[in-house]
Amino acid sequence: LPPRIAVNLARWLARRKAVSFRYLRAYLLFLLTTFAELFVGFLILRVRYAFLLSLLIAVVDIFPVLGVGTVLIPWAVVLLIRKNFYLGFGLLILYGVVTVLRQIIEPRLVGKSLGLHPLAALIASYAGWRWFGFLGMALGPVVAMAVKALWRGRAAGRAEK
């Protein structure tokens, strides 16, 4: 490879590794945040095995297609049919709280971890989801970061001339 391309490639690979670690850390923080929200909610609702259920549902929440609602909504519907209104409505409220907090936190956290503006991270996630499904949703912000890094590298190369 020409020296200029080799240097840019080496820089990009080093940055990709660092960003991948930060991206993984951001999603681990999502997992812990979701776990904490569910655990506190289950303790308030006096759900048995609150710790284990919170952990299981938080792991399910990592997958964009599944999410917290995959577990909480059917569980709440069954409880409402069985006339356990306290726990049924409590689970629906808990689902709403977790969902709203996730929508607020996710773009900021992903954007900060990748060095992108939160709106750019949100747009990249949505575009990735629309074009490539749930895998694209996770990779969209990473691609946006790569494009940003290439753009900056190109701009830096022009400034050196």
pLDDT in tens, 116-150: 777 787 788 788 888 888 777 777 877 887 777 77
| Whether pLDDT at 3 is above 90 | no
- Residues whose CB is less than 8 angstroms from the CB of residue 79 and which lie 6 or more positions away in sequence, other chains included: 85, 87, 88, 91
d(CA 147, CA 81) in angstroms, rounded, equals 50
Kindly tell me the sign of the dihedral angle through the C-alpha atoms of 57, 107, 124, 131: positive
Residue, of 20 and 33, whose pLDDT is higher: 33
Residue 114 pLDDT class (50, 70, 90 cuts): low
DSSP 39-94: HHHHHHHT-TTHHHHHHHHHHHHTSTTTTTHHHHHHHHHHHHHTT-HHHHHHHHHH
pLDDT in tens, 45-57: 999 999 999 999 9
Residue, of 9 and 57, whose pLDDT is higher: 57
